Amino acid sequence: MPSENTRRVPLLDLRPQNEPLRAEIEAAVGRVFDSQYFILGPDNREFEKEMAAWLGVPHAIGCANGSDAILLALMAAGVGPGDEVAVPSFTFFATAGAVSRTGAKPVFVDIESKTFNLDPGSLEEAARQHPGIKAVIPVHLFGGSADMDPILAIAAKHGWCVIEDGAQSIGAAYNGRPCFGLGHMATLSFFPSKNLGGFGDAGMITTTGDGLVELLSALRVHGSREKYKHEWIGFNSRLDTLQAAILRVKLRHLQEWIAGRQSNAARYQELLGAAGLPITVPQAAPWQTRHVWNQFVIRAPRRDELKAHLATAGIGSEIYYPIPLHRQPCYLDLNCAEGALPESERACREVLALPIHSGLRDGDIEYVRDAITKFYLK
């Protein structure tokens, strides 16, 4: 445990972001309270319009959370029992979990070592081995886009639906093109820790296809376009109006927060890159023309020891992610053996996320650098 006088650098601190907006947020919540319109109210419609414009896509549909967003997109794509869906093995569980909830099976794909994102070469191999694949979910992990052009080409060759999982990458761009409009659909999470986070769970699906808007909007309300008439089997996944109102306030500040994270990432790269340490410092790939740094993830030898050392120094860190999806207990029956996806497994042994949020204070990044240096040079 850190001593009482130790400097604290938390992995995430939402107070510097939320506290200055207290009056605006309270006014927005008060407006919803006065209206008594708590489900699919006017703020929902306005937030969907504002998000679509901000992302540069024609359509955005709010839902209850990011996990439901993936499930709704898969349902709209017609994925179900007997189908397979290609997903990276190194990502948060929800990506594969949503596939399983449709009755389909995930096909786990390895990652690129430098970006931690789905490897197109591994995807092509999966296509040869799994003719039942119906869709692919490239994840824009940690704030940087997947290499979409080869992924899109493979998907087009095989007739797959492409669903971008952008839960960590709102505002990211690929070769100058905004994410969320590259595939058929894309999904967002507004979990409080995201670059744009609500005061609880919230999510969204975007689509470039006019024909999917009505279906997605209906699936989130039990498959109904007309009250008590159900054309599809959907479920309840509505975005609360209170969350929509709060997110509308916060959206106006998102560019500023992203700029803060980008500045912090550049400072880490400068300081850690010059320190002569045996770690790998993340860099944006050439196609990641706008990286938004939801996480800043180093590769570190003796990772678990380093994490404990940082905790003693009052510095928060986290392992995203300690177990690849193909080795999760619930997926062992898919017989994807240990060693089958070596880059995903190596990442799970080496990765460590450092504080990157826009609320970092002057001197915090230098303090983190000094603590890491002390660990490796002691």
- Quickly state the pLDDT bin for 3 (edges 50, 70, 90): low
Question: What pLDDT does residue 4 have?
Answer: 67
| pLDDT tens, position by position, 119-155 | 999 999 999 999 999 999 999 999 999 999 999 999 9
Rounded Cα distance between 369 and 253, Å, is 28
Q: What is the mean pLDDT of the chain?
A: 97
* Total Cβ atoms within 10 A of residue 276: 9
CA 216, distance to chain mean position in Å, is: 20
| Res. 9 pLDDT band, cuts 50 70 90 | very high
Q: Which two tokens stand for residue 96?
A: 């594969």
**Percentage with pLDDT > 90 across the chain:** 97
Closest CA to 293 of 111, 164, 169, 112: 169
Q: Which pLDDT value is given to residue 156?
A: 98
The rounded distance, in Å, linking the Cα atoms of 183 and 86 is 14
CB 47 within 8 A of CB 212: no
Above 80 in pLDDT, residue 91?
Answer: yes
pLDDT tens digits for range 157-188: 999 999 999 999 999 999 999 999 999 999 99
CA distances from 297 to 42, 78, 373 (A): 39, 35, 16
Distance CA 33, CA 38 (A): 8
In Å, how far are 28, 240, 285, 320 from 143, measured between CA atoms?
28, 25, 12, 13
3-class state of residue 164 by DSSP: strand
The residues pairing with 205 across neighbouring beta strands, listed in sequence order, are: 61, 187
Between CA 331 and CA 87 the distance in angstroms is 13
- The percentage of the chain sitting over the pLDDT mark of 70, rounded to a whole number, equals 99
pLDDT band at 6 (very low <50, low <70, confident <90, very high): confident
Band (pLDDT 50/70/90 cuts) for residue 372 is very high
Structure tokens at 339: 């060693």
Give dist(CA 286, CA 279) in Å, integer: 21
Structure confidence at residue 209 (pLDDT): 84
- Give the confidence band of 19 by pLDDT, cuts at 50, 70, 90: very high
Residue 97 has pLDDT above 90, yes or no: yes
* DSSP line for 254-281: HHHHHHHHHHHHHHHHHHHHTTT-SSBP
Angle at 73 between CA 111 and CA 137, to 5 degrees: 10
For residues 161, 167, 173, 175, the Cα torsion angle rounded to the nearest 10 degrees is: -40
Alpha helices per DSSP H over the chain: 15-18, 22-35, 42-55, 66-76, 94-101, 120-129, 148-158, 210-219, 241-251, 254-273, 303-312, 342-350, 364-377
The strand pairing partners of 207, in sequence order, are 59, 185
Q: Is 314 in contact with 6 (CB distance < 8 Å)?
A: yes
Distance CA 11, CA 344 (A): 23
**Domain architecture of the chain: domains with CATH:** 17-251 (3.40.640.10), 253-377 (3.90.1150.10)
pLDDT of residue 378: 80
CA distance linking residue 54 with residue 188, whole number of Å: 13
| Per-residue pLDDT, 1 | 66
